[in-house]
Homo-oligomer: A and B are copies of this chain.
């Protein structure tokens, strides 16, 4: 992982491919790589769909090694959805394969010519960029089938669906999973639109003939990894809850906690919650012969993903994640798991962020375009996106835009990005993250839910303002660092609770690179990443006034706890005091 692949799309001429040394980017991975490249090379005032924006794809520091859970790939750019810097990461096979190929980053620059669609094939012998207009307006599933036919059953495939080609603000980038299906998405912030603007449909990664990256100190690496794996397996969340029920284990938990945003954030409890819970999903999949426990990439030992099948045992989609089930479920008043799985499949195929799309549909329901609970209406809206009709494009543009177009006042977004599945009024730690994250509303940027609800890393009362700013700050710093490693964020549960597991992670990095980092160095890395991102956003015009939730969260109390979001603006402004 000692080189950078730079591909310049030329508009009128052929793409120019170059391979560079890491230079000042040496040692960076994942979000550290994407954010440092974007902060240095992308003008903050550029148009996100223009030639000056860059799409940066980077495996984590530990990707491509034997370290467990190291399969996350980071994708960064200036976001068409938020106008901020963006890093969105995904599981699947891409990170491991790209890292084994030796690339610390792919940087795609310039702009497509608006006509041709390119595919990029990378293997040990080099890089081939070629036009393939037969892929035009194909969904991710069909695209992957074509690439499998051309490149075989072992490659990892990154691709965009119709949404990315149409440059929709909620377009995602798909990565294939272990079954070579396009189910793992860098979903948030419209990264797929940037790939579409570059004219790149798919990137095929082939690591045939290559093996895992070698640690500097192999024995220490193996020992540290063993300790790390033990730590993950012995923690209740990563060892039991997630494997058994997937991320959707959260539906019942959040519903019971009164923090499950229902009917576009009107109440914190959804009557139909149990029907779409992880427990019900696991029961159903066991009954039907689906797969409720399954990993999204090789080296995953948590196995929180799954395979969702219909009544006849036929594959519909990967097991929808909690936030997807919520966005298409309780948020829209839909309590039918099968319909939600169809929506998940369509999102994955069209290449849409399930959160911004689901929230947009709920806002459209609020605006009278269809009724809450109308699952078939929601499915029809996604068909419109697939066809590229104006209505469909509107849905694929995310919640903020559809709110403006339909004249809806209740639009749950921060910096243009939809607030996910935890109500700010009753899970206040993650709400501080929504408000202040460099990414727009993003639960993964500092998952206060852990400490507010799951009592991981201590306990801060979710209903009270006290302590949330410190909680969010610490989580945002830790998360930025974890996002640099290529580690799945769920390792945060054991490392927050178990010092020995955190130390094992640091030891893995040290053994891999021959370093002597301490916990403080990890925190310093997180701070460095956040500072670079925040500086970019400042130059792009973002101020503390943008680090705010929509006012209705401060004014309307949320049943059943009847709380409002009451962390003061002054306190929100302290999140970046580090």
Contact = CB atoms under 8 A, between A and B. Distances in A.
A497 to B, nearest CB: 38
A315 interface: no
Interface stretch (A54-62, A161-169, A296-304, A517-525): A161-169
B401 A404 contact: yes
A257 interface: no
A561 interface: no
Given A390-B369, A405-B397, A545-B541, A47 B551 contact: yes
Interface string A518-556: 000000000000000000000111110110101110000
A80 interface: yes
A80 B404 contact: yes
Contacts of A539: 545
Contacts of A394: 390, 394, 405
A495 B424 CA distance: 55
A540 to B, nearest CB: 6
B168 A407 contact: yes
Contacts of A404: 80, 169, 397, 401
Interface string A436-451: 0000000000000000
Interface of A is mostly: loop
A196 interface: yes
Copies of this chain, tallied across the complex: 2
A407 B197 contact: yes
B401 A405 contact: yes
B196 A407 contact: yes
A116 interface: no
Interface residues of A, number: 40
Interface centre among A169, A408, A543, by most chain B C-beta atoms within 10 angstroms, is A543
A540 B545 contact: yes
A25 to B, nearest CB: 26
A69 interface: no
Contacts of A196: 407
B45 A545 contact: yes
A409 interface: yes
B407 A167 contact: yes
A80 B404 CA distance: 8
A63 to B, nearest CB: 31
A8 interface: no
Contacts of A552: 47, 50
Interface in A349-403: 369, 390-391, 393-394, 397, 401
B407 A166 contact: yes
Nearest to A550: B47
B391 A47 contact: no
A78 to B, nearest CB: 12
A274 to B, nearest CB: 32
A47 B409 contact: yes
Contact of A543 (B43, B405, B543): B543
A155 to B, nearest CB: 29
Given A52-B551, A543-B543, 13 more contacts: A45-B551, A50-B551, A197-B409, A390-B394, A390-B405, A391-B391, A394-B405, A397-B405, A401-B401, A401-B404, A401-B405, A540-B545, A541-B546
5 contacts: A45-B545, A50-B551, A168-B405, A168-B407, A196-B407
